[in-house]
């Protein structure tokens, strides 16, 4: 029996527009092949929304989001904001607000290397082979949301790093549940030797750990974790960490998968799931038709699995991506410098190959 679901697509800005079209096509193809009924609506967010309405997250988009069963998002951002911190209305505000409003507190980032991309990474193949990590980045706390201050003479600035016990507890539980379905190892990353917020983080994870005696727990400082990730990525299974450390560690970890253009993420919480590539709007390549669509297509695969429980359909998408890479098809970000036989394709040709 097919399922009936409502999906909101928010392409956003820059290459978000170009790649999300392919994530949506994945969902349409799966619906057709497996006799599911997916209905689609579209919403504005980010720079495009500011230009059209003055608001980075219009009320209309938020309402549509609340009424949908899952959200497929692209990216936000525009070059004009990068060098002008005085602009008060900014695209990122839309993203931070939608996460808060929808209670999306856990950002899951699976880092898995497709065999054919071993050579595309800047890390040695023997270190990489077999690496398979699932990151849980906390999304609602930390320096992103603590009080921000600037002195009257503008010469001193501070951002408050703040965590509440319940925030750490709920993401730790989700991470432990996931570890149970994997290799039963959890690494919690903090800076408890220096930061009070990290000491709370560690205490709470230690508490939650007691509920999961079958999972092996390790606590690691962020500086060490950043080093271990490159030195021996295979030692990690599930990694749980705060908002800031998670942001940095997962960009670093993207190099394990060969490119930012390969990595999908899921933000989940109490209600609707939100799926997006980990990359941003990439204005340097916007409009050139060369962006890698795979991160968006793999985000659609995550959506099928996590929000709809359609595991077979999700695996089908991952196998199609794998088969495409095996045939030597590449976008420029994952083109193999050592094999001149690769076929380097643009966004649309690559998306077509997968489907």
Instruction: Kindly state whether residue 75 participates in binding ligand ATP, applying the rule CB under 6 A.
Output: yes
Report how far apart, in Å, the C-alpha atoms of 264 and of each of 197, 202, 295, 337 are: 28, 27, 5, 24
Annotated binding-site residue? 109: yes
Instruction: Kindly state whether residue 56 participates in binding ligand ATP, applying the rule CB under 6 A.
Output: no
What's the CA gap between 308 and 12, in Å, rounded? Answer: 23
* Candidate residues 142, 167, 333, 342; the one interacting with ligand ATP per rule CB under 6 A: 333
Tell me how far, at minimum, the Cβ of 288 lies from Mg ion, in Å: 17
Shorter beta-carbon distance to Mg ion: residue 56 or 280: 280
> Position of tokens 């609506």?
41
Shorter beta-carbon distance to Mg ion: residue 216 or 247: 247
At 337, give phi and psi (nearest 5°). -70, -25
Shorter beta-carbon distance to ligand ATP: residue 168 or 351: 351
In the bound complex, which residue of the shown chain has the CB atom lying closest to Mg ion? 280
What's the CA gap between 107 and 239, in Å, rounded? Answer: 11
Q: Pattern of binders to Mg ion over 256-295, x per CB under 5 A? A: ------------------------x---------------
Shorter beta-carbon distance to ligand ATP: residue 16 or 269: 16
Q: Pattern of binders to ligand ATP over 124-143, x per CB under 6 A? A: --------------------
Tell me how far, at minimum, the Cβ of 321 lies from ligand ATP, in Å: 13
Q: Which residues are catalytic?
A: 144, 191, 223, 247, 251
Tell me, letter by letter, the H, E, C secondary structure of 169-212. Answer: HHHHHHHHHHHHCCCCEEEEEECCCCCHHHHHHHHHHHHHHCCC
What's the CA gap between 27 and 90, in Å, rounded? Answer: 30
What's the CA gap between 242 and 163, in Å, rounded? Answer: 9
């Amino acid at each position: 029996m097919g399922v009936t679901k409502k999906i909101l697509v928010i392409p956003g800005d820059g290459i978000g527009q170009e790649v999300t079209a392919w994530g949506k096509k994945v969902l349409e193809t799966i619906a057709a092949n497996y006799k599911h009924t997916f209905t689609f609506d579209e919403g504005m967010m980010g720079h495009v929304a500011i230009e059209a309405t003055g608001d980075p997250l219009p009320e209309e988009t938020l309402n549509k989001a609340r009424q949908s069963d899952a959200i497929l998002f692209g990216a936000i951002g525009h070059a004009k904001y990068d060098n002008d911190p005085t602009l008060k209305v900014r695209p990122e505000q839309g993203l931070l607000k939608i996460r808060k409003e929808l209670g999306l507190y856990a950002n899951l980032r699976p880092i898995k290397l497709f065999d054919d991309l071993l050579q595309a990474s800047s890390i040695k193949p023997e270190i990489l082979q077999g690496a398979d990590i699932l990151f849980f980045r906390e999304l609602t706390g930390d320096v992103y949301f603590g009080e921000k201050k600037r002195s009257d003479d503008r010469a001193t600035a501070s951002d408050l790093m703040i965590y509440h016990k319940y925030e750490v507890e709920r993401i730790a539980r989700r991470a432990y549940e996931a570890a149970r379905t994997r290799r039963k190892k959890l690494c919690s990353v903090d800076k408890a030797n220096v930061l009070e917020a990290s000491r709370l983080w560690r205490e709470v994870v230690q508490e939650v750990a007691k509920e999961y005696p079958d999972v092996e727990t390790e606590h690691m400082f962020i500086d060490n974790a950043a080093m271990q990730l490159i030195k021996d990525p295979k030692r990690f299974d599930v990694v749980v960490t705060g908002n800031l450390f998670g942001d940095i560690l997962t960009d670093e970890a993207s190099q394990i998968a060969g490119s930012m253009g390969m990595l999908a993420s899921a933000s989940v919480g109490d209600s609707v799931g939100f799926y997006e590539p980990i990359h941003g709007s990439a204005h340097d390549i916007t409009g050139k038709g060369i962006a890698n669509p795979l991160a968006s297509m793999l985000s659609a695969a995550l959506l099928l699995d996590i929000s709809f429980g359609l595991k077979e359909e999700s695996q089908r998408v991952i196998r199609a991506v794998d088969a495409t890479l095996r045939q030597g098809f590449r976008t420029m970000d994952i083109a193999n410098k050592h094999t001149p036989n690769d076929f380097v394709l643009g966004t649309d040709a690559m998306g077509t190959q997968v489907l």
